Amino acid sequence: MKTLKHWEENRQTAHFIELKVDGLHLFRLYVLESGLFRVLIKRGGELALDRTWSIAPQGDVPWEGRERERVDDFSLPGYRLERDGAALRLSTDRLRVTVHQPLWLEWEYRAAPGNWLPLASDRPTGAYLLNAHGDGIEHYQRRYGQERYYGLGEKAGDLNRRGKRFEMRNLDAMGYNAASTDPLYKHIPFTITQRSDASFGLFYDNLSSSWFDLGNELDNYHPAYRRYRAEAGDLDYYLFLGPRVLDVTKALVRLTGKTLFGPKWSLGYSGSTMHYTDAPDAQRQLLAFIALCREHAIPCDSFQLSSGYTSINDKRYVFNWNREKFPRPAAMTQAFHQAGIKLAANIKPCLLRDHPQYDAAAAQGLFIRDSQHDGPAGSAFWDDEGANLDFTNPDTLAWWQRNVTRQLLEVGIDATWNDNNEYELWDGEARCRGFGREIAIKHIRPVMPLLMMRASLEAQQRFAPRKRPYLISRSGCAGMQRYVQTWSGDNRTDWQTLRFNTRMGLGMSLSGLYNIGHDVGGFAGDRPDAELFVRWVQNGVMHPRFTIHSWNDDGTVNEPWMYPAVTAMVREAIRLRYRLMPYLYTLFWQACDDDEPMLRPTFLDHERDERTFAETDDFMLGRDLLIASVVEPGARTRAVYLPDNAGGWYDWHSGQWFAGGRDIVLDAPLERLPMLARAGAAIPLSGCCQCQDPSTDDERRLALFPWPGAGRGTGLLYEDDGESHEWRDGHALWLEWEMCCDPQRIDIRFRQRGDYRPAWRELSLLLPAGETRDLYIDGTRSTAYRLI
């Protein structure tokens, strides 16, 4: 690696300045928004990859990618340029950067008019390094003692990444250790740096394998630093000011694309297991699942069909129905639909060499090509060797979408589960078509799952244009939220996983992936015992994706009724999720509309409370519910720290009020999930245990958690038909409220928008046990609100 040192001004435009470094490289500083700057280095004046698939500030990108140097979809506020001796300074009204000689950057933010404070700094002793032989880049920044680091997407261990080293290289990490395994499935090269005064985000738009060192490495010849290194590609990063952590997360989503608004049924319980589809009588076992749900009164809205339906012997062959195990697929899908259960089918982007369609696909050039000859590039897959489909080839896209339609959608499958799409193809020079401009796979490996899921999405949209699509993907990169729901992959069954999967999910959420969950009960290893299973279900029902999925070593299946002694507890946890569905669905809409995370660490809404930054097993569902999952065997009480807020907190179960900023201990019998509601909140509830038929969802209640004294709170309930796009034209219901409390009375006023009218017409209001103040609705003493 060679350090970039001496620069001179090369040119200035309305949106960036360009420096020439060491007489060879071009260094650009863009001002895209008042709080968003960008740094781009053109090695030798050229880009290694002239497009991107991650940056999507105004809708989606073209299939072939967005031109890397394009800036017209930002506000481009302009900047002030000052020269201070050998240094240059660019500033907006919020953010400024000083370019020092030799090359390093110093960032400041404006805390008040005329008051600029330090925000970030490159390492002065060598900030930017390029491999002199053409590949490899490094960026070094200063590391300060008060900083905390979050982000990086789906990573094992604690939520605060400080002091650790991480790798971005998508792998099929079967049975991973949730406290330590690295790398995992996703590529999110993004960090949040949090300090008490201000926070900032750093997103590296590079899709090659990369490494982040956030304080693990020390070098006596430099001040304390953090390091980013990529094996190939361009050094192209975006730095954006918060000032809060929440602001940084929302800014990342607005940079890389908004969350897909899927159907309401995607929030219901989704059954799944590898065992059913691998069984010789798979179709019979799947139909038995429907009967067992009815027998045990377990509500279920969808089922995720594992890849055993494509098997030949013990291997997987995408788009191949095993007719011995599934003699009548259309009849099976019809039976699920009659039971009110949608189906998502597993699909994989690698074809084994003995796949029935392999030779035809190879003849059409549908695979990524070897670096040294024109045949398919081989890679290990399902204990054999196969070839990965090249989704930068339009012919591959057409082939894929044709098979999704004919083999799945026309048979009655409702959604696609895009799986095993890590693209573990390690010949970095293997060639991708690149939509007519060839690209080495080392530059775009995580783009392949992104394009795979987009191809599946568009096939579903064309097949059912009036319905909102639902898709799942295990692997991907920044921007995947535009297309899919995701999860934390093939976790291992143990108490440690339950604890650290929660932190892993929060890390994804802080990194812009809001629609997430985990394999409840654990996927790999021993089956969970009854206590662990109950606690895992209680935790899982409070995540956007709730799926019980397994491949237990002993051949058993994780199912709601697997332990008769605790089935009632599992049922109650799932029913609690359905009672909370109006709240969950509103959070989902807010995530897609206003980029609000559904899962939130407790500090996200309470940054002024330093204690909320301690590593914890608690999390927020929205800003109003604090979930205190039990993650230790035998525990029947739960210690909880209540974030310091003005109104305090209510125990969900008893209605007891607690002041914030203190530790409490809650009862946690096995049948109960400890949870609290924020004072000032109002939680909409349903009496229905199914998402798909809105005509049966005819009951709404609003659980009020008023301020104990004087205070004000606001909230929203969102409703629509659950599956169409008509909400875009106002065919939805937005019911907003303001709750004002004083020592004598509670006043709540409603404001209604939209022309959708749900099956329920009256909203019953509930107060906590022991609340004696009078309740007024729109100025009249009452306990119910009727829709206009």
The Cα-based distances of 705 to 25, 311, 651, 767 in angstroms read: 60, 53, 10, 7
Number of neighbours of residue 635 by Cβ within 10 angstroms: 13
675: Cα within 13 Å, side-chain hemisphere:
24
Tokens of 619: 């999390």
Query: Looking at domain 681-786, which of 1.25.40.10, 3.40.50.10800, 1.20.120.450, 2.60.40.1180 is its CATH number?
Result: 2.60.40.1180
pLDDT tens for 619-642 read 999 999 999 999 999 999 999 999
3-state secondary structure of 385: strand
Q: How far apart (Å, rounded) are the C-alpha atoms in residues 375 and 598?
A: 45
Tokens of 552: 């237990």
DSSP state of 613: G
The structure tokens 């017409």 sit at 761
Q: How far apart (Å, rounded) are the C-alpha atoms in residues 101 and 83?
A: 12
3-state secondary structure of 561: coil
Q: How far apart (Å, rounded) are the C-alpha atoms in residues 131 and 415?
A: 44
- pLDDT score at 135: 86
- Region of residue 617 (phi > 0: left; psi between -120 and 50: alpha; otherwise: beta): alpha
Pairing of strands 551-552, 599-600: unpaired
Same fold, 2-152+188-256 and 681-786: yes
Domain spanning 599-678: CATH superfamily: Golgi alpha-mannosidase II (2.60.40.1180)
Tokens of 94: 């919020």
- pLDDT score at 190: 98
Residue 155 in contact with residue 506, Cβ under 8 Å? no
Tokens of 708: 């104990």
Supply φ then ψ for residue 119, to 5 degrees: -120, -50
- pLDDT score at 146: 92
* Single pTM value for the model: 0.97
**Residue-wise burial string across 113-149, b where 16 or more C-beta atoms lie within 10 A, e elsewhere:** eeeeeebbbbbbebbbbbeeeebbbbbbbbbeeebbb
Tokens of 559: 């199912």
Q: How far apart (Å, rounded) are the C-alpha atoms in residues 375 and 378?
A: 9
Domain ranges of the chain: 2-152+188-256, 599-678, 681-786
- pLDDT score at 132: 80
3-state secondary structure of 313: coil
Pairing of strands 378-381, 384-388: antiparallel
Q: How far apart (Å, rounded) are the C-alpha atoms in residues 683 and 698?
A: 17
Q: Which residues lie below 8 Å from residue 291, measured CB to CB, with a gap of 6+?
A: none
Q: How far apart (Å, rounded) are the C-alpha atoms in residues 549 and 727?
A: 32
Tokens of 115: 């008051």
Nearest to 206 by CA among 68, 307, 310, 107: 68
DSSP state of 458: H
Domain spanning 2-152+188-256: CATH superfamily: glycosyl hydrolase (family 31) (2.60.40.1760)
**Residue-wise burial string across 159-194, b where 16 or more C-beta atoms lie within 10 A, e elsewhere:** bbbbebebebbbbbbebbbbeebbbbbbbbbbbbbb
The Cα-based distances of 571 to 287, 424, 492, 576 in angstroms read: 20, 40, 23, 9
Tokens of 506: 């929060």
Number of neighbours of residue 684 by Cβ within 10 angstroms: 24
Nearest to 102 by CA among 122, 120, 82: 122
Pairing of strands 551-552, 524-525: parallel
CA 686 to chain centroid = 26
| Residue numbers in the chain where pLDDT is lower than 50 | none
pLDDT tens for 681-703 read 999 999 887 777 888 899 999 99
Q: How far apart (Å, rounded) are the C-alpha atoms in residues 414 and 25?
A: 51
Residue 420 in contact with residue 348, Cβ under 8 Å? yes
